[in-house]
Amino acid sequence: MTEFWPTFGVDLHLELDPATGRRTGLEQALRSAIQAGRLAPAARLPASRKLAVELGLSRGTVRAAYDQLIAEGYLTSRQGSGTAVALMAQHSAPSAPATERPPRHNLRPGSPDVAAFPVAAWLRSARRALGNAPADAFGYGDPRGRLELREALAGYLGRTRGVLAHPDQIVITNGYVQALVLISRALGPSTIAMEDPGVPFHRELVRRTGATVVPVNVDEKGARTDTLTAAVRAVIVTSAHQNPTGETLHPARRLALTDWARSTGGLVVENDYDGEFRYDRQPVGAIQGTAPDQVAYLGSASKTLGPGLRLGWLVLPPELIEAVVDAKRHSDHHTENLGQLTFADFIASHDYDRHIRAMRLKYKRRRDLLVSRINIPVRGIAAGLHALIKLPDHTEDDIRQVAAVNELSIGYLGDRWQQPGHHQQGIVIGYGTPPDHAYSDALDALVRTVGSI
């Protein structure tokens, strides 16, 4: 039976120079591929018979070329294992750039304990989702996202966060970052207000869409909504747990925020990044539930499950849906389907609720241990995964040096300000970040560091 090249077990791309002869050309092509690093150590090569058919050579020619490269140390051959690139084969490929060594004690804010990801429950949902997936789940999808997930989220967000959403108002995104970019693009060139202090990376994302970013100061009651004017097209707030101060937006300011939006035609963009984690009383509901036509609600699974999932969502006022969907379509067409179906099942099975409740208890214990170990007032601890320790003036640089000596990675309030000038200094502690086995040692390093103040 004549063999057809697409049926070969191992694909191998080689370009032979006909001027050098068949055997020599094959030797040179294989040698060059190994030296350049295109064929990595231990890479398996096709059987001589298969490669001969693919290249239109005799099997003897291929075997002779293999034998020569085995003799030179480029290849190895073992009975029953076939021919492979030698582990010690030398190549001239550039070495990979050095990667930054992870910190020994990691209390940087912005991440949950990813070691606590609910693997077993997620696998159950993935099996069910794949087993029940319709054929169109493996094709191109709706830019808004899978209907199954949008329906599950509409119910979940209404039940747990007080969000008023129809599935048609929801757009699934690749995490919060894409959600922020999409809504900024949909607004077009405009003035967008963002909290100060805030997250510099998020400000830069908004700027790169062509928007002008202006600061909204934050105090002990959250964002200063009284400073917003009609010139501002939208304001982005972290109302449930301000990032990084940890303050909750005062009820009077929540009302003032929606009044501003109604009177000026402005938009409130609510970043509910860790609203599920409140410890001392019931979670504060989303602003969106009080003014769904004035608020765009942004959420994600990054803090509840892990940022590696790249699953986020937008709940949009009706007039913004078309523009955001168009921006999504021209960004990446649609978010990956199978992860959406898995997450939809994860929500419907209530494994998502169970995981959040378990993590809420875990993070509360961590928060309580942090507070008990530090002899300095800790702010913003009613909710979320980070806390703030304010520092005396001109001490932040000293703390950075001591933290480096203690191999401790933390966040700094001084890096979060948008406006120039003298500002409050402090350290931002991500007590949700390290795995359980590393948390106590990380706190020891923190105690040593803040003890130097």
Q: What is the pTM of this model?
A: 0.87
Q: For the chain, what percent of residues have pLDDT higher than 70?
A: 95
Spell out the alpha helix ranges (H) of 162-308. Answer: 175-187, 200-207, 251-264
How would you classify residue 269: left for phi > 0, otherwise alpha for psi between -120 and 50, otherwise beta?
beta
Residue 1 has pLDDT above 90, yes or no: no
Position 278 scores a pLDDT of 94
Domains and CATH numbers, the chain: 5-85 (1.10.10.10), 105-110+353-450 (3.90.1150.10), 117-352 (3.40.640.10)
pLDDT digits (tens, 9 = 90+) for 80-102: 778 999 987 555 545 556 666 78
Position 235 scores a pLDDT of 98
Contact 194, 418 (CB under 8 A): yes
Lowest mean pLDDT among 35-44, 129-138, 330-339: 35-44
Residue 7 has pLDDT above 80, yes or no: no
Question: Strand, helix or coil at 137?
Answer: helix
pLDDT digits (tens, 9 = 90+) for 389-440: 999 988 999 999 999 999 999 999 999 999 878 889 999 999 999 999 999 9
Residue 76 has pLDDT above 90, yes or no: yes
With b for 16 or more beta-carbon neighbours within 10 A and e for fewer, the 319-347 pattern comes to: ebbebbbebbeeeeebbbbebbbbbbbbb
